[in-house]
Amino acid sequence: MAVHLLTYNYCQKEKYTMKLAVVGVTGLVGGVMMDVLDEFGMEVNEFIPVASARSVGKKIVWRNQEHTVVSMEDAVAKKPDVAIFSAGGGTSLEWAPKFAEVGTTVVDNSSAWRMDPDKKLVVPEINANALTTQDKIIANPNCSTIQMVVALAPLHKTYGIERLVISTYQSFTGTGKQAVDQYQAEASGQAYNQDTAAYDYPIFANCIPHCDIFLENDYTKEEMKLVHETRKILGDDSIAITATAVRVPVDGGHSESVNVQLKKDFDIKEIKNLLNKTEGVTLMDDPANKKYPMPLFAKNKNDVFVGRVRRDESIDRGLNLWIVSDNLRKGAATNAVQICTYLRKSGLIGS
């Protein structure tokens, strides 16, 4: 298992203080964000919970203290050192610049800024060292992209990646509370309003090959995020990538079958050794003893789990990987908190 420097070195060896806002605090990711902040041991002088108008005034408990949810306007007026956004693209487009104008560094979990050429798209294990004090809006990648590139980055650095064929098996939790409610209602046989359901079809005991909206090329937006974000994070537009994203009735994380064609030949033992040494990766690859990654094991953990590592015998320099991670953790909250931790450790935020 890899040593997790982003958690241990930055959060346990030293203490930090800052004024921190969580935007979208009452949502699924917002709740996990509070858990991860606490687990990482980050000291916060002032915690500012922020949500939409309908949630303003509600009370939430964090670190055994009651906090009152405030509006976006009030949060901007407080000038936090950092604001972690998990409130949707429209909200981010409107409010992230307003926070940035008062000196706040925004770490945004939506898709709003990811492909903006002037914004960094950051997975701390890969490219956090590119951040500067000028980066006031930092994009958190898509959940399915994050877990995949954590595993692929060391392979790309060592061998070069020529082509990726990706198939995802994504938890309904990635769609949000509305999808969770739909799944729970279907699983228990309860009636629910199909007009306000998250999906057009049942998700319980079903697989839906439709994540996000369909685009003109008949790929979904989720599938094209995997294409564009992977190239941006790895800094290589030459990688050929195709993807199929599927929503599955799983509570616990996203799984991905990734077929990789490398530019250089490899020894499978060297691939496994490289993955085993990679920060943020847990290699779980012992097929003889039926040990391989599953969402059941990944739930509530911050690691990316990799297994079923084997050569693709149908093509030259081909490799198959099975990659699993908790989409609400490393796929969202944990990655954002790791970015904040890096910023504070590097003196880019706070005092």
Residue 243 tokens, joined: 């993807």
For residues 194 and 340, membership in a common domain is answered with no
- 307, 220: one domain: yes
Q: Indicate whether 251 belongs to any domain.
A: yes
State the Cα–Cα distance between residues 79 and 209, nearest whole angstrom: 42
Regarding whether 114 and 80 lie in a shared domain, the answer is yes
In this structure, the answer to whether residues 179 and 36 fall within a common structural domain is no
Please state the pTM of the whole predicted model: 0.94
CATH of the domain at 315: 3.30.360.10
Residues 76 and 51 in one domain: yes
Based on the fold, state whether residues 111 and 180 are members of the same structural domain: no
**Residue 174 forms part of a structural domain:** yes
Residues 57 and 122 in one domain: yes
At residue 350, the pLDDT reads 77
Do both 186 and 127 map to the same domain? Answer: no
Does the residue 151 lie in any domain? yes
pLDDT attached to residue 7 = 44
45 touches 65 (CB < 8 A) = no
pLDDT value of residue 2 = 47
What is the domain extent for residue 260? 145-327
State residue 15's pLDDT score: 57
The ranges of the chain with pLDDT < 70 are 1-17, 351
CA distances from 137 to 52, 274, 343 (A): 20, 32, 12
350 occurs within a structural domain: no
- What is the tally of structural domains in the chain? 2
Q: Per DSSP, what are the bridge partners of residue 137? A: 106
In a domain, residue 80? The reply is yes
CATH of the domain at 39: 3.40.50.720
Q: What pLDDT, on a 0 to 100 scale, did the predictor assign at position 121?
A: 98
Judge if 95 and 187 occupy the same domain. Answer: no
- Claim to verify: residue 203 and residue 318 sit in the same structural domain: yes
Q: Are residues 115 and 14 in the same domain?
A: yes
Q: Quick check: is 182 in a domain?
A: yes
Active site residues: 143, 254
SS (H, E, C) the chain: CCCCHHHHHHHCCCCCCCEEEEECCCCHHHHHHHHHHHHCCCCCCEEEEECCHHHCCCEEEECCEEEECECHHHHHHCCCCEEEECCCHHHHHHHHHHHHHCCCEEEECCCCCCCCCCCCECCHHHHHHHCCCCCCEEECCCHHHHHHHHHHHHHHHHHCEEEEEEEEEEEHHHHCHHHHHHHHHHHHCCCCCHHHCCCCCCCCCCCECCCCCECCCCCEHHHHHHHHHHHHHHCCCCCEEEEEEEEECCCCCEEEEEEEEECCCCCHHHHHHHHHCCCCEEECCEHHHCECCCHHHHCCCCCEEEEEEEEECCCCCEEEEEEEECCCHHHHHHHHHHHHHHHHHCCCCCC
In a domain, residue 124? The reply is yes
In a domain, 351, yes or no: no
Closest CA to 262 of 157, 172, 175: 157
**Domain identity same for 179 and 115:** no
pLDDT of residue 16: 57
